[in-house]
Each structure stands twice: as C-alpha cells, then as structure tokens.
Amino acid sequence: MKATQKLHDLGQSLWLDNITREILNNGTLKRYIDDLSVTGLTSNPTIFDHAIKNSAAYDAAIIEGLRKGRSGEDLFFDLALDDLTEAADLFMPVYEKTNGVDGRVSLEVSPLLAHDTVQTIASAKELFARARRPNLFIKIPGTPEGLPAIEEAIFSGVPVNVTLLFSREHYLAASDAWLRGIERRIAAGLDPMVDSVASVFISRWDTAAAAGGIPEGLQNRLGLAIAGRTYKAYLDQLLNPRWRRAYNMGARPQRLLWASTGTKDPKASDLLYIINLAAPFTINTMPEGTLKALADHGNIGPIMAADSAASESTLKQFAQAGVDVDALAARLQDEGAKSFVKSWNELLGVIGSKSTALRQAA
C-alpha cells in the first residue's frame, strides 16, 4: 500500500498545492485522485503565475477573452475559474461521498485586497457565485483586515479557506471569525453548515529561522514546533463549548490545514513536513514533487502528539536563542501578503504581455 493511501486511511486529507491546465487536460490530476488518494486542491497567485507564464495552454482562452473585451484581473479570474471549476467537478465524487467534508478546491481573492475588508467581502461573494460549485473555497487572508471579511463571508454562506496563518494566535483569531459568522447564521435562522479550513504555513518558519543564524541543532525544528502548538489549540477548539453549541445546531468544525509543506532546505528530508504532520481530521496540501516523493518512498510514522509539551520545550529553546516567535509570526504574515501581491502583479504582467502578443499574431 502506498504511503499516500496510508496517510489517507489515517484520517488526513491529501490535497495538491498546484493547478495547471496541462494536469487537467492530460489526465494527471485524475490519476492523482485515483492512484495517490488526492482529495482536494489549493491554488494561489504564484501557482497561476507559473502555470500561465510557462504554457501555451491558456492562449486560446486568452484570445477568446480578448474578443469579449476582457483584460487584467477580469481575464485572469475567467482563466482561473475555468481551471478550478473543472477541478471541482473531478473532486465532486469525493465531495458527495464525504457529504462535503472533503473534495474541495480553493481560489484566492486578489492579494491587493489583503488590507481592504469591504472589497474582500464583495470579491468573495462574486467569485463564489460565478463558480456555481459548492465545493469551491474562497481563500481570504487571515490578516487583521481579513478577519471581518471571513466572518461576513461565512455569514453570507460562502465557504472560506483562511490563508496566511502562521501561529497559534493567528489560527485562534481565524477560528473565532469563522465561529462568529456561524453564530450569526444560527441567530438569523439560517443553515449553519458553511464549511471552512484554516491554513497554517509551516516551512517558511524554518527558512526565516535559518536566515537569522540559529544554532545548528535547531535547524528545521521551528515550523514543526509551531505546528504542534497550533494542533493542540485546534484539538482544544473541538471541545470548546461555543463550538459544541454550534455543532448541536448543525454546524461542522472548521478543519486545520497544513500549508507550505514543501521542504526548502536541500539538506533536510523532502518529506519533513509530511511525515511529522500526520494527524487525523486535518489536511496537508503539498506541492506536486512532495506528493510524488510520498508515493515513491514515504513511510508513515506515529501521528502527531495531542499535547504540545515537546513543541513548547522546543519553542523555549528558540526563545533562549533570541527568536521572538510573536514578532516573527507578524513579519511572516506581512511578508506572505507582500509576496502574493508581487506574484499577482507578475501574473497580470504575463497576461498583459501574452494578450499583446496574441493580438499582434491574430
């Protein structure tokens, strides 16, 4: 049995952190679903930037969009929704089999809106309505400005993948925003089953720590320690009386998702953030190369500890080494938002240059 199947059987969902028109057209995504136990998919501006820049597969759709007068962000979202609705249809059997717990795909609102609550809400509602797929998550960043948008989107019935979370505190703020939206739906007599996941980024912690010159014995340990601390908070939330009241009214828990799980350090295991983050009722969204490595030579060890004692001990060592985890979490979230803006601008630049070249060639 492949390690991907073992991990799935453990109770963790394996999602692919990638989308291209090629893997849709050539059957690769379908094969990952059938053979590698992939049950969902995430995307972001960087992924689409690479997909469109490095392929001619989008050219015909770009030409068609230009004929309709589409350009810029409007043209991009046309292309992205074409890909993600097709992917959503491939995952629909999983979605139906799990009664909506799994089988999801994600589309992010414009990163330019990360600090604009009102426009984020409007964009989330519009994109979900355009997709017409119940298994599409709209990704909203868990920035301070994003939290009210998450609450409002949930209240409006829009499933949300909360992105750019880096710490336990970020996670708790996101879960509280989700729950406020659910509680408002209950008070209004609306169906409270509006699903959400909270995406906590892992590997960037270790990249940042290494750049800060930490002792060799602490290399590649910070991200896992943050994950352990956050996982404990997640398990506590499942027992939270407010959550339980919502369950009694028909709500479903917000699931925890491990993101940024591709190993950045070439000296570390390519499965560092897969093997050590195995936990039931969570999701791990991984790059394509990491997924293939797991299927090829992965072994599943013990599941994550329910308590965070070992993680807290490690975090104490980082504090002694001069690492301020709270300050670093804030910095990582800010840098993550800026990184997506950079990719977004590059993506729109690629679409613009392709549009010009295709017009001239027509």
Backbone φ and ψ for 258, nearest 5 degrees, come out as: -90, 120
Residue 239 neighbours by CB under 8 Å, 6+ apart: none
Q: Which residue has the tokens 């810029």?
A: 72
Q: What is the C-alpha to C-alpha distance for residues 76 and 74, in angstroms, rounded to an integer?
A: 5
What single DSSP character describes residue 69?
T
- Residue 139 is a catalytic residue: yes
Size (the chain), residues = 362
Q: How far apart are the first and last CA of the chain?
A: 51
Give the residue from 183, 182, 191 showing the smallest Cα distance to 160: 182
CB-based burial label for 317 (10 Å; 0-12, 13-18, 19+) = middle
* E strand or H helix that includes residue 191: none
Kindly state the helix (H) or strand (E) to which residue 37 belongs, with its residue range. none
DSSP H or E segment with residue 162: strand 160-165
- Kind and range of the H or E element at 13? strand 13-17
- Token pair belonging to 242: 């407010």
Q: Which residue has the tokens 């499965």?
A: 271
CB atoms within 10 A of CB 221: 20
Count CB atoms within 10 A of the CB of residue 319: 11
* Cα–Cα distance measured from residue 253 to residue 246, given in angstroms and rounded to the nearest whole number: 9
Q: 6, 97, 139, 354: which one is catalytic?
A: 139
In the structure encoding, which two tokens stand for residue 261, read together? 């799980």
Contact 45, 23 (CB under 8 A): no
Looking at residue 110, what DSSP letter applies?
P
Both structure tokens of 131: 């997709």
Q: Token digits for 21?
A: 């028109």
- Active site amino acids: 139
